[in-house]
Amino acid sequence: MSKTTDKVMHVTDATFDDEVIKSEVPVLVDFWATWCGPCHMVAPIVSDLSVTHEGKLKVAKVDVDACQKTAIRFNIRSIPTLLLFKDGRVVDQIVGAQPKAKIVAAVDRAL
């Protein structure tokens, strides 16, 4: 699990629209599952971004097993998948465990 000092919020099918779609700032959403090894490789990067970009970027996690409606809605076929939302729309997508530099570059483009 992420370290306790991070600012990652866990969103559900019920809270996704309020926390992500209606957000005033860009949102990085990590679609993951507890059993997914590559998801655990990406988790520290996502956690770090939630701290280093606090105030400019929201960071959220969606457990695809618990939130299947949201995973289906955004056509999540493999995990980890990171979606970047801006103004309620997906502006970038990263599939699979990727290097921190690639994820940071995508976030910076969205800001």
Quick one: average pLDDT of 61-74? 97
Task: Tell me what the pLDDT averaged over the chain comes to.
Answer: 94
Active site residue 39: yes
Rounded Cα–Cα distance for residues 24 and 43 (Å): 24
Rounded Cα–Cα distance for residues 10 and 59 (Å): 9
Tell me the pLDDT band of 4, cut-offs 50, 70 and 90: very low
Topology annotation, domain 9-110: Glutaredoxin (3.40.30)
Q: Which of 27, 29, 39, 62 is catalytic?
A: 39
pLDDT at 6: 82
Q: Which of 36, 59, 82, 103 is catalytic?
A: 36
- Would the pTM of this model clear 0.85, i.e. be above it? yes
Quick one: average pLDDT of 69-88? 97
Rounded Cα–Cα distance for residues 60 and 23 (Å): 11
Long-range contacts of 87-93 (CB under 8 A, 24+ apart): 88/21, 88/22, 88/23, 91/26
